[in-house]
Structure 1
C-alpha cells in the first residue's frame, strides 16, 4: 500500500494565534501515524509562486490515513484554531 503525504506551504500571520494550532495538531497527526520529513528550514522556489515562510512535508502510512487525518475531528479543531493566523496550502498525495 503506497504511503500518503501532506505537502504544506505555510506563512504565519499571527504567531500568538498560530500557537493554538501547534498545541492541537499533534493529537491528530500522532493518531494517524504522521512523520515529519521537512518542517521549516531553507527553501527556494525555482518555479511558480512566492516562497512561503515554511514548507512542511508529512509522511503517513497510507494515502487513506493522510486523508483521514485531515478530515478527523481532532485535526478540524486544530484547523479552526489556525483560522486567520496563517495562510496555508495543503496538498495530499499518494506516494509510489
Structure 2
C-alpha cells in the first residue's frame, strides 16, 4: 500500500537549504519515491496552520519510506536539513 511522507519545514538558512534540495531529490528517487508537493503556496482552510514550507512525498510503502529516511544516501542530505531548518515529519499509509 502506498505511503505519504508529510513534512512541515521552517527554513533559517536558505542557501544551505538549497544544497539540501539538490541532494534530497536523488535520494528520494533511489527509494522509488516522488515529490507530490515541494514548497508550493499554502492556504489554511481551518485552524491556525500556516507552514512556511510544506513537502509531501509518495513512496510505494511505509517500509520503503522508512528505508529512504534511514538510508546512508539520505543521511547526508538530512544532516544539512537539520542545520538549515527546523521541521516535523511523519509517514502515513495512503489509500
With the shorter chain as reference, the TM-score category is 0.7 to 0.9
Q: Distance in 1 between matches of 2:60 and 2:7?
A: 18
Give the TM-score taking structure 1 as reference length: 0.87
Which whole-Å deviations, capped at 9, do the CAs of 1:34-92 have from their partners, x for residues lacking one?
111112222133225x4111111111111111111001011111010122211111101
Residue number in structure 1 paired with 2:26: 27
Q: Distance in 2 between matches of 1:55 and 1:67?
A: 19
Structure 1: unaligned runs, 5 residues or longer: none
Aligned: 1:47 with 2:50: no
Q: Distance in 1 between matches of 2:14 and 2:25?
A: 17
Structure 2: unaligned runs, 5 residues or longer: none
Aligned residues between the structures:
94
Q: Distance in 1 between matches of 2:37 and 2:21?
A: 16
Deviates more, 1:20-29 or 1:5-14: 20-29
